[in-house]
Chain A
Amino acid sequence: MNKILSKLEYSSLLFILTSGLTTFIWFVLYLLGFSLDIPSLLISLFVGIVVATSLIKTSKLDVVVDHEKFKSTEKLIIGCTTTLILLALVVAVYNPIVSWDSLTLYDFRGLIIAQSHSLQDISSATYYLGYPLMTSLVHAAFYLVSSNTPQIFYALLYACLIFLTYGRMRSWTSRSYAVVTSLLVACNPFLWEHATISYTNLPYSIFLVAGLLYAPNSLLLSGVLIGLSTWVRMSEPFWIVGLLLIAYYGWKQKKIVRAGVGIIAALAIRTTWTMYLTGAYLHAGLVKEAAGSIYNLAIFGKILANFGTICSYLWEFIITPYFGIWILAIFSLVPAYIFRSKLYLSFIMLIAMTIAGTAIFSTYFVSWYSIGGSATRMILFIAPLVTMIGVRLYYLSEDKNGK
């Protein structure tokens, strides 16, 4: 079992990178004139696997292989975690796609792409171009090979997240801590739920969190992962934190060029979609007049006027659903300062962006309060991120204070 566990992180990283890169390359091939069909999918898959494998091989992943036998409590915890993964797989396969956003957007785009082998039919409405195509292309790939269960992809991503958690925690702490953290991440209700529905939040969170976690190991790998997070969802500004972290490690490790390449890779992925989007909007005559600068005093006035409602929104949709995570984040503050945790600093920046974004959003979107569920989904990434930070800091504190 030790051998299997040590390989799971590599396999999971390969899976998520391949899924992201393959869909991105498939899209680039379409832009170059290829149809979105099985031959171009196979070419993309081949290139995706080669690039993903090279990226992982060139990264200095500090994978730890244990040789000691597992304790019975560890076996029990691994059993519980495995059960949760298996249940997610079964539920994802059994349930058809019924969630509204997926039916009308993510999955529907995949269905159209598989039928028409192009993006022509979805380029006519702004609604269909509201999100980048990553998950829709995954669905299209499933439909092209006559499989009607694209939802299994999300359960596999959930499994990958747990294996990545184990791998990172094992290299940072001990096996027992890694096993416990994996269970803590696996039993997060939001993560489990998103493993069984086809929304974009889980893939987005995995790319973002993996990008942040691997920044100290490989700046290029981290850059690609952060870039791929914007290939799933583009409107959130969280990728900026990832790039800042890459820049920091580049400067600290004196690898400025590598950091630059990582940042360029992330921006290249993001820019490819934004350029396509702009072209599609212009072509379809869908370009709207710019809403004007957000940096004006009127906005601040509105935010101040909305202050009470914004606080209540944050409490109801950002804090209450992740109450356990927030308690852990609060108690991680001092240890994070003591141990100079860059991940915790990233978390603070991500949350600052969330609060600022919510405040600005409240000033121009009339029914902002009624769609609080999307804010809860948007910050799904805090569940694995804070759990890993908290356990790691606890491990470091224990190490420092003595058991």
Chain B
Amino acid sequence: MKVKLIQFVPLFGIGLCLGVAGLESITYLGFISAHIYLPALIFYIFGLITLFYPSSLGKVARKLVSTIVAVFASTVSLLYFVLSLIESFTYENFVFTHFHINMKGFVILTALSILVYIFFSSPRKGLAKLMQDGLYASLIFLFIFNISRLTPLVIKSVMPIIRDPGASYDAKMTTAYPGFYPAMQMVARITSENSTIIIPPQGAPWVTEGNNFLVSRFLYPRHIVHIESEAKQTLPSGEVYMLIAKGSWPSDGTYAHGWPKISVAANQIWKFDVENQTYETFSRDYDPTGDVWDWGLIKVQNE
């Protein structure tokens, strides 16, 4: 039997599709366009189109290739599922750092391997059948894609329930907002509902404790304010408190940790121990050089 080169067009298509996707999986998205000046998408489309060329491969050869592609697609899909799990339980780019597999490229390889398998293994009967195969392959991929992302999400959500099913509201809030939530609870216990609480400026390192909407959530109906300038001491009237907050976020260079940064004339100051929900009190002014505390409160002497 005479072997014609054209018989191998679908094989070339498979090789092109999966080869380019595989290469971008172990390098980076855009690797192909950076080196060959043609986007990878062109190769994918071209490769998929060649699959529809009516191949005259023998039955046995066709079956063999189909089986190889099926094994490849299953392996890649399973690997994608496992790698997604690993990535979500470690950190972003963990997989790339340790296995040199770029997940954004690998998901394309997974989709293509399923598409290639369905297209190659299904007998072709015109455009309508072709589109039906495309939909079928997309639905299979959608399921794999969803499950790979849903599984770690569900496990992460359910694990705390299994570990501590009877956790109190306060314990759960403290886990979500360590330091900040217990500090707000202590402020709420010390201050009256009609008082005014001055909080640090909004931004690093006080992204949480400087956000008046977030602080209001825990201290409502107390009035939460920022003061325009610390130096001017333009304090509101009435019962006024000032939050002492080191800052629970990294500094971006604009402000260093620790607030307030100026001396404040005070009736009383509280040093919080948020771990044990206790505090020490001092009847003196606040001194920013000595009172370097993570959390505390100042009752401002404003009259």
Contact = CB atoms under 8 A, between A and B. Distances in A.
B147 interface: yes
Interface of A: 84, 87, 90-91, 94-96, 98, 100, 103-105, 107-108, 111-112, 115, 121, 127, 148, 184, 187-189, 192-193, 196, 320, 323-325, 327-328, 330-332, 334-335, 338, 387, 390-391, 393-394, 397-398, 400-401
A335 B154 contact: no
A94 B161 contact: yes
Given A108-B213, A324-B141, A400 B135 contact: no
Interface string B55-70: 0000000000000000
Given A96-B172, A193-B153, A187 B214 contact: no
A323 B136 contact: no
B128 A401 contact: yes
- A-B CB proximity, top 8 nearest: A324-B145, A331-B134, A324-B142, A397-B132, A104-B213, A98-B176, A189-B149, A328-B138
A111 B132 CA distance: 51
5 contacts: A90-B158, A108-B213, A115-B221, A332-B135, A394-B136
Given A108-B217, A397-B129, A397-B135, 16 more contacts: A94-B161, A96-B176, A98-B172, A103-B217, A111-B217, A121-B221, A184-B139, A324-B144, A328-B135, A332-B135, A334-B131, A390-B139, A390-B142, A397-B131, A398-B132, A401-B132
Contacts of B46: none
Contacts of B144: 324
B132 A184 contact: no
Contact of B104 (A127, A192, A320, A390): A320
Interface in B138-180: 138-139, 141-147, 149-150, 153-154, 157-158, 160-161, 165, 169, 172-173, 176-177
A70 B197 CA distance: 62
A108 B150 contact: no
Contacts of A188: 146, 150
Contacts of A90: 158, 161
A390 B132 CA distance: 10
Nearest to A193: B153
A127 B224 CA distance: 15
Contacts of B267: none
A96 B217 CA distance: 14
A192 B135 contact: no
B68 to A, nearest CB: 23
A100 B141 contact: no
Interface residues of B, number: 43
A387 B137 CA distance: 13
A192 B176 contact: no
Contacts of A184: 139, 142-143, 146
B135 A187 contact: no
Name which of A105, A111, A115, A327 has the most chain B CB atoms within 10 A of its CB. Answer: A327
B142 A387 contact: yes
Nearest to A321: B149
B173 A98 contact: yes
State the majority secondary structure of interface residues on A.
helix
A397 B127 CA distance: 11
B77 to A, nearest CB: 12
A330 B150 CA distance: 23
A189 B138 contact: no
Interface of B: 104, 107, 111, 125, 127-129, 131-132, 134-139, 141-147, 149-150, 153-154, 157-158, 160-161, 165, 169, 172-173, 176-177, 211, 213-214, 216-217, 220-221
A292 to B, nearest CB: 28
Given A95-B172, A323-B111, A328-B142, A87 B154 contact: yes
A105 B217 CA distance: 9
B172 A91 contact: no
A397 B138 contact: no
Given A104-B213, A401-B125, A393 B141 contact: no
B76 to A, nearest CB: 15
A46 to B, nearest CB: 31
A111 B149 CA distance: 33
B150 A192 contact: yes
A108 B142 contact: no
B223 to A, nearest CB: 11
Looking at B111, B143, B146, B177, which has the most chain A CB atoms within 10 Å of its CB? B146
B157 A91 contact: yes
Contacts of A100: 214
Contacts of A323: 107, 111, 145
A138 B173 CA distance: 22
Contact of B216 (A91, A96, A108): A108
Contacts of B216: 104, 108
A96 B213 contact: no
Name which of A104, A189, A334, A400 has the most chain B CB atoms within 10 A of its CB: A189
A327 B136 CA distance: 11
Contact of A98 (B127, B154, B177): B177
B30 to A, nearest CB: 11
A322 to B, nearest CB: 9
A174 B160 CA distance: 39
Most buried by A among B127, B129, B142: B142
B252 to A, nearest CB: 13
Contacts of A401: 125, 128-129, 132
A78 B150 CA distance: 17
B169 A394 contact: no
B132 A192 contact: no
Nearest to A192: B150
B220 A112 contact: yes
B153 A393 contact: no
Contacts of A332: 135, 138
Contacts of B132: 335, 394, 397-398, 401
Nearest to A336: B131
B222 to A, nearest CB: 12
A196 B154 CA distance: 10
A335 B135 contact: yes
A165 B116 CA distance: 30
